[in-house]
Amino acid sequence: MKGALAFAAFLLAAAPAAAAPPSDLKDWELYCYCLGARQTPQSVVRANGATLLRAKSGMPVSAIGPARRALLARFGLVRRAKGRIWTAFPILGPEVTAPLRARAAFLGRVMALRLAPDVAALREILAQRGQSQSGYALTVGYALDTLLWAHLKGAVPPTRPDARHPLWRGVFWAMWPRRAGGIGTNEIAGRDGRLVMVWADPVAARLKHFAATRAARRLLTKPGASVPLVRGQPSDPLFRAADAIAARMAAALTGADGAALLAALPGLARQDAMVIAAHEAIWAVADTLVSSGQLAVPAVLKGANQPLGPLLFVRRKR
């Protein structure tokens, strides 16, 4: 009980007061865990944000015109029940976001200690290859935001579109307040593998432009000395080190540590809650690894006019 009280006190102290949420979802943070999507729903949500936010509490079907209802239904954003129309994805305001992120920050501090040997091993391998600048990209973009999802298979929903979900499949959600410093990964698929780019808002435009160049395509076949090549096989020491990080993180999320995060997301399907909780945990762990000195954020990720190399790596199956 003493430990529980101390944890509760930490949550209260860590949850800052938040401004009132905007009345339109276009101003909220929008996320989609939908790898392989043919078309993601963000643009439709931004164009209908005020309506979708009101529909969280249900509204008459007649309040939305037939064409717009059809569009929202096509993207799986609304459902009909009891003669009313309801938003069909999680909308998480500060009453949910604050305690969730406080718990994620607590887990981030715990996991930074547990992951320290694995992160050090990965950094040492990169140093031996002359690629020390890629420590952040491989730890966060590969171990935590790529390999982790394979370890969570079954605990998170599938994302490949099918007949019932022709445009996208997975989890879409909105959050407020916005999270400072959120990062993610985008990929360019090629015959020989995938070029992975770790992005954040300050560098998103540069990476989008780079992804359309021949130089990006060339890296798929010839990564060069400055861009790590990871082969998804146990024979690759870099893969083994990154996979150890992912496995340890997955064990925490599917165990007692993760249960505390999931408890902050009541009312959601367990697989959906796991996706949301895992993202918050990834960002919290990344923040703590940086603040503890285990990783350094590449200056280019903060918007500095420097080469994109530290944000890139190529992954192949073999």
SS3 176: coil
Confidence of residue 92 (pLDDT cuts 50, 70, 90): very high
The residue among 69, 89, 109 that closes a domain is: 89
Show Cβ contacts of residue 96 under 8 Å, excluding neighbours closer than 6 positions: 264, 265
281 has a pLDDT exceeding 60: yes
- For residue 60, say if its preceding peptide bond is cis, omega within 30 degrees of 0: no
Q: Is residue 42 part of a domain?
A: yes
User: In this predicted structure, what is the pLDDT of residue 18?
Assistant: 52
Q: Is residue 11 part of a domain?
A: no
For residue 60, give its domain range: 23-89
Residue where the block lists tokens 């165990």: 255
Are residues 102 and 249 located together in one domain of the fold?
Answer: yes
pLDDT tens track for 23-50:
999 999 999 999 899 999 999 999 999 9
Are residues 114 and 249 located together in one domain of the fold?
Answer: yes
DSSP state of 133: G
Confidence of residue 192 (pLDDT cuts 50, 70, 90): confident
7 has a pLDDT exceeding 90: no
If one counts the domains in the chain, the total is 2
User: In this predicted structure, what is the pLDDT of residue 224?
Assistant: 85
Residue 184 exposed, middle or buried by CB count within 10 Å (0-12, 13-18, 19+): middle
11 has a pLDDT exceeding 60: no
Q: Is residue 257 part of a domain?
A: yes
217 has a pLDDT exceeding 50: yes
What is d(CA 26, CA 80) in angstroms, rounded to the nearest whole number?
A: 23
180 has a pLDDT exceeding 90: no
pLDDT tens track for 119-172:
999 999 999 999 999 999 999 999 999 999 999 999 999 999 999 999 999 999
The dihedral of CA 52, 39, 271, 112: what is its sign?
negative
User: In this predicted structure, what is the pLDDT of residue 269?
Assistant: 97
Q: Is residue 17 part of a domain?
A: no
Half-sphere exposure of 186 (CA within 13 A, CB side): 15
Confidence of residue 17 (pLDDT cuts 50, 70, 90): low
Are residues 64 and 159 located together in one domain of the fold?
Answer: no
Encoded amino acid at 209, one letter: H
The residue among 72, 89, 106 that closes a domain is: 89
